[in-house]
């Protein structure tokens, strides 16, 4: 069964600083990997996804993520954080085969941005 670990429950950065949110996954085959963002009281918005090809994926709002098979990681990065990036971020893994359709989410990382 697949699983996702987001080691950091809460991260605080200053506006303009760089950001890296960690995500480690466990899955037997090549995974489908996603990063979603959730603002308070809202649904989830897709930032980016990986399922094949280039291991560096570009997303919306200036985010990118790199798939590293050897480390079972899919860390999310942004070179310069804006105050509007404050939200909760979820990494998720999707499977194929009989488990298709089921996304497994990490616990989430809450991002606070200081002015």
Partner 1 sequence: NAGVMQNPRHLVRRRGQEARLRCSPMKGHSHVYWYRQLPEEGLKFMVYLQKENIIDESGMPKERFSAEFPKEGPSILRIQQVVRGDSAAYFCASSPSKQGGETQYFGPGTRLLVL
Q: Does 34 bind partner 1 (CB under 8 A)?
A: yes
Q: Which is nearer to partner 1, 84 or 99 (CB)?
A: 99
> Binding partner 1 by CB under 8 A: which of 43, 54, 70, 115?
43
Instruction: From 18-26, 36-44, 58-66, 67-75, give the range in contact with partner 1 by CB under 8 A.
Output: 36-44
Q: Which residues contact 60 (CB under 8 A, 6 or more apart)?
A: 46, 47, 48
Residue 115 tokens read as 């002015």
Q: Which is nearer to partner 1, 15 or 44 (CB)?
A: 44
The strand pair at 87-94 and 24-26 is best described as unpaired
Alpha carbons 4 and 78: distance in angstroms, whole number: 21
> Binding partner 1 by CB under 8 A: which of 76, 90, 111, 113?
90
């Amino acid at each position: 069964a697949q699983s996702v670990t987001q080691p950091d429950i809460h991260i605080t950065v200053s506006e303009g600083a760089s950001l890296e949110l960690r995500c480690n996954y466990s899955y037997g085959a090549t995974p489908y990997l996603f990063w979603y963002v959730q603002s308070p009281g809202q649904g989830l918005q897709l930032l980016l996804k990986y399922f094949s090809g280039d291991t560096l994926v570009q997303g919306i709002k200036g985010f990118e993520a790199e798939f590293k098979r050897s480390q079972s990681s899919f860390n999310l990065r942004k070179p310069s954080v804006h105050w509007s990036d404050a939200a909760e971020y979820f990494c998720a893994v999707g499977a194929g085969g009989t488990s298709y359709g089921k996304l497994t989410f990490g616990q989430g990382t809450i991002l606070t941005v200081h002015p």
